Amino acid sequence: MGELEIIRLQNIQVSYGDVPALEDVTLSIFQHDFLGIIGPNGGGKSTLLKVLLGLVKPDSGDVRIFGKPPEQTRGRIGYVSQRPSFDRDFPASVNDVVMMGRYSQAGLFRHYNREDKAAAEKALTLVKMEGYRQKQIGQLSGGQQQRIFVARALAAEPELLLLDEPTASIDPTMQNEFYELLDELKRNLTIIMVSHDIGAVSVYVDKIACLNRRLYYHGGKEITSEILEATYQCPVQLIAHGTVPHRVLKEH
């Protein structure tokens, strides 16, 4: 293919006790891919992200991130979690939160240095929130907070961005704005986004995989109703938005 392979998963098998979470998952992701992974809750989406972050060791199979085992590559990955539940008056400023993204670079026991501060600054500018540095994080709107959490991930100057249900708790208009931001970021990054929001995912991502223990992925953006049914194990109706820039549905 000539492109740089960022992630290679081969025959990954993960189970919790007797319960299988991932079965025979094989996946290759290349530089500047924007992959959306959709699937039902409990389908193994979070487990897959944990495998990529090196937090869950597969029972069998091989994981390579940038050609290395995932434990060694955490510093090169930015992670955006679901919006955490914290108190509105939690004593942290926007700047405090973005600096957290530099943890892997600074390391245990070390204090942040000038380089860390510069990276946090740059990340805030990338998400266009540089004017909010000293604001208390709880005082921002849900959409603004999600931008800050993206900035936190970007502060690590990652080559790969992992997003776990990033729009789960923000309202629809904010969601569109958020996807526009990802659209800009994907020029310099490889992005994997896990979501159960089929509609939005299919508009913005370049490739889609469906995950329900097994991964259905054909390196493209087309999902057939057969794949969706296999994933969700029940008939799913695909709803396309009014002006879909790419074809999502296969013609029947």
Partner 1 sequence: MPGPAYRTRYGAAPCVKGTLKMLEALQYEFMRNALMAGLLAAVACGIVGVYVVVKRIVFISGGIAHASFGGIGLGYYLGINPIIGALFFSLASGLAIGGITRKSRLPADTAIGILWAIGMALGVIFINLTPGYAPDLMSYLFGNILTVPFSDILLMLALDAVIIGIVVALYKEYLILSFDEEYGTAIGMPVDKLYLLLLGMIALTVVVLIRVVGMILVIALLTFPAALARQFTHNMKTMMILSVLFGFLFTLGGLWLSYELKLPSGATIILLGGTVLAISFGVTKLRLRNKKTKEAA
Please say which residue, 163 or 182, places its beta carbon nearer to partner 1: 163
| Binds partner 1 by CB under 8 A, chosen from 41, 89, 235, 252 | 89
Which residues ranging from 154 to 213 are in contact with partner 1 (CB under 8 A)?
156
Residue 154: how many CA atoms within 13 Å on its side-chain side? 24
Structure tokens at 117: 């501060």
Report, in angstroms and rounded to the nearest whole number, the Rg of the chain calculated over CA atoms: 18
| Binds partner 1 by CB under 8 A, chosen from 55, 118, 230, 244 | 55
Please say which residue, 23 or 96, places its beta carbon nearer to partner 1: 96
Residue written as tokens 């919006």? 83
Q: Does 104 bind partner 1 (CB under 8 A)?
A: yes
Which residues ranging from 121 to 150 are in contact with partner 1 (CB under 8 A)?
136, 138
102 neighbors 155 (Cβ within 8 angstroms): yes
Binding range to partner 1, per CB under 8 A, among 13-21, 87-95, 197-205, 240-248: 87-95
Listed in sequence order, the residues at least 6 apart from 142 whose beta carbon sits closer than 8 Å to its beta carbon are: 83, 169, 170, 171, 174
Binding range to partner 1, per CB under 8 A, among 31-39, 107-115, 168-176, 191-199: 107-115
Residue 151: how many CA atoms within 13 Å on its side-chain side? 30
Cα–Cα distance measured from residue 84 to residue 117, given in angstroms and rounded to the nearest whole number: 23
Listed in sequence order, the residues at least 6 apart from 112 whose beta carbon sits closer than 8 Å to its beta carbon are: 99, 102, 106
User: Nearest approach, Cβ of 13 to partner 1 (angstroms)?
Assistant: 22
Which residues ranging from 25 to 54 are in contact with partner 1 (CB under 8 A)?
49-50, 53-54
Please say which residue, 49 or 198, places its beta carbon nearer to partner 1: 49
User: Nearest approach, Cβ of 86 to partner 1 (angstroms)?
Assistant: 6
**Helices and strands: H and E segment counts in the chain:** 8, 9
Cα–Cα distance measured from residue 236 to residue 234, given in angstroms and rounded to the nearest whole number: 6
Binding range to partner 1, per CB under 8 A, among 3-11, 30-38, 92-100, 212-220: 92-100
Q: Does 108 bind partner 1 (CB under 8 A)?
A: yes
User: CB neighbours (10 Å) of residue 131?
Assistant: 10
Q: Which residues of the chain form contacts with partner 1 (CB under 8 A)?
A: 49-50, 53-55, 71, 74, 79, 81-82, 84, 86-87, 89-93, 96-97, 99-101, 103-104, 106, 108-109, 111-112, 136, 138, 152, 156
